[in-house]
């Protein structure tokens, strides 16, 4: 235990003292603080642009047999569209369609509308934006007007028409205990899974490169003759884990702090961030648990693999299989998450295999139907898997650190491990 703490302290201290580690942490904190403060400026900026922007001038032409003049139509559109968007100004236009086309091209008007009837019109425009919603809003207004006219013609009073048109369906959602509102949890699940993925890959590789550095500098020979491999292995992984967790807490803490300061500005589309920062405590705890478990499982694998290489250059070759496995898991989980079906047989299986469960089980907890005992079993399996991989990793490490030259094949490794057990 004494050895474990010595290794742990040394490793943690080394990470915290490393310049790149400090710089990256600081940089991430600054970036996220700036990012989280951005809505403050965007929000105030948006107001300015709205008032400062030139209104869109839209020319309106009504055909003669339509029953409405261009002026009437413009007025109607200004009333109903203006209330919704407020950017467009509709003006009656008298002239030919060709002249209007020319006028739009000359930017006298932003666009033009030539009406045959309420249900049929031609839109003359320059570039139509990717997120252009003008047409759908306009069509809704036209449809409403058409329906109102039709109902009035059939003898309905103004109030009746209003009532019919403004009718809405009300839904009250009552969920069972285990039920999840996927729409609500999708976003934070998505973000947390991304973070989980990045953290495990990043810190796992940090452990791997630390092991490979010790090996290539040949410090290993002294370490392995001074301390037990299990102490070295566990101390290293715990040290890197704590450094990682600390970095994570600092960065996410900064994000949360910046969010708190700027909270009033998170309006409109940005209000989606509120769901992120108000996620249930339970979910947060599960996320941390899955991070810790996932980190240990993969860090042990990475460390064991890294002990097989003699030069840093070979490191990426050796850990690629483990990284690939993890990426595949990530993709499976992401596909399931995006399809909304997280309780498929594949996902259920994945949520019990320690290599895949940190991600799979987390998604099922937030998005699917899992009973408490299922979570308990999965977490127990993760913990057991982590410990088993820790000891297996230490055994490989013990053999690996004294091997120089070409990394061994898997079969060779297995036979060496067997040899050791004798």
Partner 1 sequence: MQFAVEGLHKSFGQKQVLRDVSFSTESGKAFGLLGRNGAGKTTTIRIIMDVFPADSGKVLLDGAPMVREKINIGYLPEERGLYPKVNILEQLIYLGRLQGMTAHDAKANSMKWLERLGMEEHANKKLETLSKGNQQKIQLTAALISDPNFVILDEPFSGLDPVNAMLLKDVVRELINSGKIVLFSSHQMNYVEEFCDSIAILHHGEIVLSGSIRELRRAKGRSRWLIQTEETEKALRFCRESLSDVVKNAHAVKEGAAVELLHEGGEAALFAAVSTSGLIVDGVQLITPTLNDIFVEATTGDDDEAEGSEDK
Determine, following the binding rule CB under 8 A, whether residue 407 of this chain makes contact with partner 1.
no
Find the shortest distance in angstroms from Cβ 26 to partner 1. Answer: 20
Concatenated DSSP letters for 215-261?
Answer: HHTTTHHHHHHHS-HHHHHHHHHHHHHHHHHHHHHHHHHHHHHHHHH
Q: CB 225 → partner 1: shortest distance, Å? A: 4
Question: Can residue 311 be called a binding residue for partner 1 (CB under 8 A)?
Answer: no
- Of positions 120, 135, 226, 267, contacts partner 1 by CB under 8 A: 226
- Which segment (250-258, 271-279, 343-351, 401-409) binds partner 1 by CB under 8 A? 401-409
Is 62 an interacting residue with respect to partner 1 (CB under 8 A)?
no
Residues 6+ apart with CB under 8 A from 17: none
Binding mask 11-40 for partner 1 (x = CB under 8 A): ---x--------------------------
The answer to whether residue 223 forms part of the interface with partner 1 (CB under 8 A) is yes
- Angle, CA 152 vertex, CA 147 and CA 155 arms, to 5°: 135
Measured distance CA(378)–CA(399) in Å, rounded: 31
Which range touches partner 1 (CB under 8 A), out of 6-14, 107-115, 137-145, 348-356?
6-14
Cα–Cα dist 101/255, whole Å: 50
Q: Is 2 left (phi over 0), alpha (psi -120 to 50) or beta?
A: alpha
> Does the protein bind partner 1 through residue 149 (CB under 8 A)?
no
Q: Which is nearer to partner 1, 20 or 264 (CB)?
A: 20
Rule CB under 8 A: is residue 181 a binding residue for partner 1? no
What one-character DSSP code corresponds to residue 118? T
Which of 36, 398, 83, 33 minimizes the C-alpha distance to 232? 398
Q: Which residue in the block uniquely carries the two structure tokens 């559109």?
A: 77
> Cα separation of 305 and 316, whole Å?
10
- Using rule CB under 8 A, residue 153 touches partner 1: no
Interface with partner 1 (CB under 8 A), residue from 28, 89, 227, 312: 227
Binding region for partner 1 (CB under 8 A): 2-3, 6-7, 10, 14, 214, 217-227, 231, 398-399, 402, 404-405, 415, 419-420, 422
């Amino acid at each position: 235990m004494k050895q474990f703490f010595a290794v742990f302290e040394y490793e943690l201290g080394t990470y915290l003292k490393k310049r790149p580690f400090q710089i990256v942490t600081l940089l991430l904190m600054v970036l996220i603080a700036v990012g989280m403060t951005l809505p403050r400026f965007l929000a105030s900026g948006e107001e300015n642009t709205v008032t400062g922007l030139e209104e869109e001038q839209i020319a309106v032409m009504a055909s003669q047999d339509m029953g409405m003049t261009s002026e009437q139509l413009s007025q109607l559109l200004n009333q109903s569209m203006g209330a919704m968007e407020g950017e467009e100004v509709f003006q009656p236009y008298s002239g030919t369609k060709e002249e209007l086309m020319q006028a739009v091209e000359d930017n006298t008007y932003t666009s033009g509308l030539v009406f045959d009837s309420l249900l049929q019109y031609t839109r003359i425009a320059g570039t139509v934006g990717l997120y252009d919603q003008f047409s759908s809003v306009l069509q809704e207004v036209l449809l409403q007007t058409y329906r109102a006219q039709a109902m009035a013609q059939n003898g309905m009073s103004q109030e009746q028409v209003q009532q019919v048109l403004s009718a809405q369906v009300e839904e009250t959602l009552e969920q069972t205990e285990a039920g999840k509102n996927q729409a609500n949890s999708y976003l934070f699940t998505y973000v947390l899974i991304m973070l989980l993925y990045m953290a495990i890959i990043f810190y796992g590789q940090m452990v791997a490169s630390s092991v490979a550095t010790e090996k290539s500098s040949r410090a290993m020979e002294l370490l392995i003759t001074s301390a037990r491999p299990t102490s070295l292995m566990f101390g290293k992984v715990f040290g890197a884990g704590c450094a990682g967790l600390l970095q994570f807490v600092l960065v996410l803490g900064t994000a949360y702090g910046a969010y708190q300061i700027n909270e009033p500005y998170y309006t409109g589309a940005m209000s989606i961030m509120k769901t992120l920062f108000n996620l249930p405590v339970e979910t947060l705890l599960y996320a941390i648990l899955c991070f810790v478990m996932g980190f240990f499982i993969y860090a042990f694998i990475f460390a064991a693999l890294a002990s097989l290489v003699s030069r840093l250059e070979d490191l990426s070759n050796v850990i690629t299989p483990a990284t690939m496995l993890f990426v595949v898991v990530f993709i499976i989980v992401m596909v399931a998450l995006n399809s909304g079906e997280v309780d498929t047989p594949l996902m259920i299986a994945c949520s019990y295999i320690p290599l895949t469960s940190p991600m799979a089980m987390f998604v099922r907890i937030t998005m699917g139907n899992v009973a408490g005992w299922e979570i308990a079993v999965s977490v127990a399996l993760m913990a057991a898997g982590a410990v088993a991989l820790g000891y297996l990793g230490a055994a490989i490490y013990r053999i690996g650190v004294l091997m120089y030259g070409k990394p061994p094949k898997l079969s060779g490794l297995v036979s060496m491990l067997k040899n050791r057990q004798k």
